[in-house]
Structure 1
Amino acid sequence: MSRLPAAEKLPLAVRKNVRDDWEKVKPELEKKFSDLLGVEWTIDVNPAAIYPYAEADSYAANSLGSCIASYISGAEYQLKYSISSVGDIIKDEVNTLAHAHTITIDFDEEKLFSYCGAKITPAGELAIIFSAGNLGTNIDYALEKGNLTKALNAADQASKPMNHSARVAIFEDYESKIAPVQEKLNKILAKEIPLVPNFEAVYEKLAASSDARDDFASNLGSFVRGYFEGLNDYLTYQKFDSDEMLQEGLTEALEGNAIHFRIVDALKKSYNEAVIEDGILYLQTNTANFGTNIHQIAEGILELLPHVSIPMSHHFDPVILRILRAPFYCPGLRVVIFPIMAKPPGDAGLDSRVASAYEDRMPVNTMQHHAKSPVSLDIIVVGAGLSGLASAISCALSGHSVTIIESTEELSEVGAGLQVTPNSSRLLQQWGLPDKLWETAAEPTYLAVHKYTGQTLAMEENFDKKMRVKYGAPFIDIHRVDLQLSMFDRAKDLGVKFHFGEKVDNIDFNIPQITTKSGFTANANLIIAADGIWSACRNNFLGTKDQPKPTGDLAYRIVLTLDQIQDPELREWVKNPSVHFWIGPGAHAVGYSLRDGEMYNIVLLVPDDLPEGVSRQAGSVEEIRELFKDWDPILTKFLNFVESVDKWRLMHRNELPSWVNDKRNFVFVGDACHPMLPYLAQGANSAVEDGAVLGLLLGRIQSKSQLPQALMLYERLRKTRGEAIVKETFKQRASFHMMNGPEQEARDELFLSQLGGELKGPFPSRWTCPDVQPWLYGYDAYNEVEEVLKKEPFKENKRLVHPGPKVIYGQVAKIRDVVVLVA
């Protein structure tokens, strides 16, 4: 649509509405803007110029004055929220870039937004703009933070270096947070060595590059700070803080007494590296890898230092101990003992001990704290889903021999999107999953809860950063198959064996032994049932066919590729990861980005209408559009691009009386024992926790006779937590699915009362509730196992406690089908 001429004269009813609902409140709104921004602002809106864009019989056509007032008051609210959440830098940016200090409303002639947004005009005005056919639509979103950022980034930046996003990122994520990083570095090296970020040069390189990530500007502050934090972490890891020799070696090498970050054209290493030039330590990466593997940047610093000569003396053992105590070998570590051939008297094996110590520092995975049992169990895992793979990885790291029996012929793409929360992501990091998993993950920058009409009820800004700071691990959105295949690759690397196309038919718990429908049999010391909600192992365990029960809900699962989404505004949503919930009467929807912003995952949770006995079937695109036709226009626009959809019945199971059999040679993990509604995204995350805890406990047994203790402790640690999470998912459904009425209104009031402020519990969204989130996301399987075993170490069974034949020293006795070697 081209720009329309202004109306010569407005209808009488419209002029009255403009007078009563706009002109009377205009002075008050000008004062609010002026007070908010600290300088005098004016509002210059021409009702006659925008009236021709009003659709016939629309809100804008019938109530133009009210419409204008709503745009302006909504803009003032959004601007206030941005200032409160980011800081006064927003005031400075708006006042500088919108130098006319005037707010206006105009037609979006350049088609910058789908509904409404903002721009800075050549005259320096801050203009609220609306698209063709959408005057009066999504009024409250015009100056929403993303729209405002887009407008300020597009404004003339001649008076300031870098763009608005970069300046805010530096202010918010670097300047206010770098002091503790600098102080820590000074303490580690016992000397003040300044950190120099070189932001303008870094920005210039990234902005001129075609291969830099799209969001580099908004991450500039946090990424550069992260590189410096990575340096501190590495130096601490290598014990620089307690080793004067290492401190002296590095500080002497840094004659320029500075540490800089910079972007270079070419690297010798894959992602980033550290170099020393002219007495300055440079932490550097290239444009394509800015923000990738940040915390690895300092690896190899020891290679840059001069050889350390240690005079021959009779005190070599402390040297060896120094080498041995380093948590990781740094490739190329050069600690040279001169002369190596001269041995202290009576210590002919010194050089071999040094060589052995050196070899022990060879590169290893990050599982150095994962204890290995001195005895190796034969373990069968039934199921190659996430719980089965997690159990296999953790048990293999504990030194056991693991075989997975999987019913499908191959691993296939099932389930679409998956949200990995910090309680699980820290385990995946610890296990050393392939880099490709993290490279395809989308890390949401904010989490929002909307009323089904589109009104924002809750907004957690800087969600990605808060998760890392609070819990030391990321919250990521990924495609389920990406995680499953990454875990599959890691399991194979650890020697786990796989048998595909084998469906378990029977379990003999006395041996124990499994038999599949094809006749394949396998024996083991332990069977782990990880075969999901339709578990065949569960039926064998209970001795009866135990079917899952409907919960009353079903899920429509949708994945859209960026190519399918033709709307520019929606494409921006997808490319800038965030999590959105829309909650309404009896239903809710959730949307988030996948594969680094190349896909969008939508789940629609609605009342179950599937026929009895059907758990999954193809859905109707027309059906979902009809169900959600009155919901937020953003959501309905996404649904307009859907070409096909599946519907899945959400099922539940009764709690099991025990997760371990009476023979103590069989145990459940994951959905086989605690299936969960997806309303907290904890089904997969809790399953990973199960596998981690089980493997960690099995890594601490000193003999096979301690297996029963380990299994019972696993059940005690995991059953209570698993069942508690299940209950929380039902509570979240009740909160999100409230029917319109007094309870729903009270819920919304509670949401809105804390919008933009510090959240206090109880809070209707458990995703951010301060009473629930720390308990969910702060869980650390490694710490839990370590702490409980400090208090309750496994006991050594030195004598038989069950009745049986007399056991003769050094012989084998068979007691209740368990073979025990008494030594």
Structure 2
Amino acid sequence: MSNDRLIVIGGGIGGTATALAARRAGREVTLLEQAPAFTEVGAGLQMAPNATRVLRRLGVLDRVLEAGVRPGHLVFHNAVDGRELTRVRLDRAYEEHFGGPYVVVHRSDLLDILVDAAVGAGAELVTGRRVEEIDQHPDSVTVRTGDGTAYTGGAVVAADGLHSRTRALFSDDEPVQSGYVAYRGTVPIEDVAGGANLRDVLVWMGPGLHLVQYPLRSGSLYNQVGVFRSPRFDDGAERWGGPDELEQVFAATCEPVRRALPGLGRERWWPMADREPIASWAKDRVALLGDAAHPMLQYLAQGACQAIEDAAALAASATRHSGPDGTVAWPSALEEYAAERAPRTARVQSTARVWGEMWHVDGVAALLRDEVFSRRATDDLGAAEWLWGHRAG
């Protein structure tokens, strides 16, 4: 294999976006995924303009829009009394302002699109390969997988998720449990009150809980995510977040929220965790990307968006650090990539925590939150400029 090749560990959205972006920039790429096939767990993703602008540059936005839904509004409610507090119009003016649309898409649909595009661009995508070792050399790096295969290249980017083993090269930290747990489910759109008219992203905020709803797959499915803080977690129990707690915590919510609960799957739930930001996630010829570098709570809907930004920034940095013959000075390219991305992703991580706390307050704090939301002008996008207006790469 070429000593200049980029080796990507992990075949999720961040890894496949990186493979595609690197190929579009002229790099040779091998992606290694430990699972036997490319799959995504979960259902919906919200793609804000900071990500959709990148998807357009990568040549896949039209396919994403076809597979997903362009919602009309992002609408916030009080989950207890049902009042609408504010809404963001996701219309043509919004798209022109930020240079890209807001789209909601099924995770597996987005992954399929990225995989197809990366393969079509000439990236080598290999499944069933669990990385066991990474050995750096003066002019190359070698990755060895569990079956004994060795892959040699110029750099390794690990997009291996929240529980990244590669992160141990940079930090001895562990995931931080928030005490919140998520239940997810999709139902046919015709089974939901309102049916074909359900085109908005709805957020219902309440004490220690929230519900998010929006359509998927060209409007044929309705995605719902219920999240709550587990009383058992607060009591120090070893097992927490079960379905009985879901029913208990959501009992005091308004009728539209309670009506959504039967559509949430009970067989599996997801404890919500992130990690503290770290100062750097590049060392010589190895770097982290996506949740391996900056796992974040879901309240800004930016996990996948930030991974896509990472992919664009990495490809651009490799181009800036390539010589006349196209060979990349990978150590300096990775160092620049991480230096550019770390401050921004740290801000998104910390803001996501604050945003989640604001969603889940009770009492006087909830009254103040609702007042602030209600006073917002619907065309006021100033608070989101730093997030949605950022241009990576």
The TM-score, its normalising length taken from structure 1, stands at: 0.44
2:350 equivalent in structure 1: 727
* CA shift in 2, pair 1:747/1:643, >3 Å: closer
Alignment partner of 1:459 out of 66, 87, 98:
87
Q: Distance in 1 between matches of 2:369 and 2:279?
A: 36
2:304 equivalent in structure 1: 684
Number of residue pairs aligned between Structure 1 and Structure 2: 383
Structure 1 residue 673 corresponds to structure 2 residue 296 = no
Structure 1 residue 473 corresponds to structure 2 residue 100 = yes
Displacement of 1:509 after TM fit? 2.2
2:28 equivalent in structure 1: 401
Alignment partner of 2:211 out of 589, 594, 614:
589
Kindly indicate whether the alpha-carbon contact (under 8 Å) linking 1:505 and 1:536 is maintained by their aligned counterparts in 2: no
Displacement of 1:418 after TM fit? 0.4
Kindly indicate whether the alpha-carbon contact (under 8 Å) linking 1:434 and 1:490 is maintained by their aligned counterparts in 2: no
Structure 1 residue 632 corresponds to structure 2 residue 254 = yes
* CA shift in 2, pair 1:422/1:645, >3 Å: farther
Bigger share in strand: 2
Q: Distance in 1 between matches of 2:3 and 2:239?
A: 43
Alignment partner of 2:333 out of 710, 713, 716:
710
Q: Distance in 2 between matches of 1:434 and 1:449?
A: 27
* CA shift in 2, pair 1:626/1:743, >3 Å: closer
CA-to-aligned-CA distance 1:361-391 (integer Å, 9 cap, x gap): xxxxxxxxxxxxxx98211100011111111
Structure 1 residue 739 corresponds to structure 2 residue 366 = no
Alignment partner of 1:774 out of 371, 385, 390:
385
2:194 equivalent in structure 1: 570
When the two chains are superposed, the root-mean-square deviation of aligned CA atoms in Å is: 2.4
Q: Distance in 2 between matches of 1:701 and 1:758?
A: 41
Displacement of 1:466 after TM fit? 3.5
Q: Distance in 2 between matches of 1:551 and 1:585?
A: 15
Matched AA of 1:648? W
3-state SS in 2 of match to 1:485: helix
CA-to-aligned-CA distance 1:59-80 (integer Å, 9 cap, x gap): xxxxxxxxxxxxxxxxxxxxxx
2:152 equivalent in structure 1: 523
Q: Distance in 1 between matches of 2:40 and 2:254?
A: 30
Q: Distance in 2 between matches of 1:392 and 1:532?
A: 16
* CA shift in 2, pair 1:556/1:641, >3 Å: closer
Q: Distance in 2 between matches of 1:492 and 1:534?
A: 26
2:318 equivalent in structure 1: 698
In the TM superposition, 1:87-236 aligns within 5 A as none
Displacement of 1:646 after TM fit? 2.7
Kindly indicate whether the alpha-carbon contact (under 8 Å) linking 1:570 and 1:638 is maintained by their aligned counterparts in 2: no
1:484 equivalent in structure 2: 111
In the TM superposition, 1:62-81 aligns within 5 A as none
Q: Distance in 2 between matches of 1:643 and 1:656?
A: 34
Q: Distance in 2 between matches of 1:676 and 1:500?
A: 26
CA-to-aligned-CA distance 1:19-53 (integer Å, 9 cap, x gap): xxxxxxxxxxxxxxxxxxxxxxxxxxxxxxxxxxx
* CA shift in 2, pair 1:533/1:543, >3 Å: closer
CA-to-aligned-CA distance 1:228-251 (integer Å, 9 cap, x gap): xxxxxxxxxxxxxxxxxxxxxxxx
* CA shift in 2, pair 1:525/1:642, >3 Å: closer
Alignment partner of 1:606 out of 228, 234, 239:
228
The TM-score, its normalising length taken from structure 2, stands at: 0.90
Q: Distance in 2 between matches of 1:543 and 1:632?
A: 44
Displacement of 1:543 after TM fit? 8.0
Displacement of 1:415 after TM fit? 1.6
Kindly indicate whether the alpha-carbon contact (under 8 Å) linking 1:448 and 1:459 is maintained by their aligned counterparts in 2: yes
CA-to-aligned-CA distance 1:740-772 (integer Å, 9 cap, x gap): 2x2222222222233x6554xxxxxxxx5x23x
3-state SS in 1 of match to 2:72: coil
Displacement of 1:504 after TM fit? 1.3
Matched AA of 1:555? A
Q: Distance in 2 between matches of 1:736 and 1:478?
A: 23
Q: Distance in 2 between matches of 1:448 and 1:439?
A: 23
Identity across the alignment (%):
30
Displacement of 1:438 after TM fit? 1.8
Kindly indicate whether the alpha-carbon contact (under 8 Å) linking 1:625 and 1:640 is maintained by their aligned counterparts in 2: no
Displacement of 1:603 after TM fit? 1.3
Kindly indicate whether the alpha-carbon contact (under 8 Å) linking 1:676 and 1:726 is maintained by their aligned counterparts in 2: yes
Matched AA of 1:467? Y
Q: Which runs of 5+ in 2 are unaligned?
A: none
Q: Distance in 1 between matches of 2:224 and 2:9?
A: 30
2:375 equivalent in structure 1: 753
* CA shift in 2, pair 1:526/1:415, >3 Å: same
Kindly indicate whether the alpha-carbon contact (under 8 Å) linking 2:18 and 2:311 is maintained by their aligned counterparts in 1: yes
1:493 equivalent in structure 2: 120
3-state SS in 2 of match to 1:589: strand
* CA shift in 2, pair 1:695/1:641, >3 Å: closer
Matched AA of 2:211? A
1:513 equivalent in structure 2: 142
Displacement of 1:467 after TM fit? 2.5
CA-to-aligned-CA distance 1:562-609 (integer Å, 9 cap, x gap): 25x1x5x3324xx43101111111121111111121111111121144
Q: Distance in 2 between matches of 1:607 and 1:702?
A: 48
Displacement of 1:398 after TM fit? 1.4
* CA shift in 2, pair 1:705/1:698, >3 Å: closer
Kindly indicate whether the alpha-carbon contact (under 8 Å) linking 1:383 and 1:405 is maintained by their aligned counterparts in 2: yes
3-state SS in 2 of match to 1:556: strand
- Greater RCO between the two (CA within 8 Å, min separation 6)? 2
3-state SS in 2 of match to 1:428: helix
Matched AA of 2:5? D
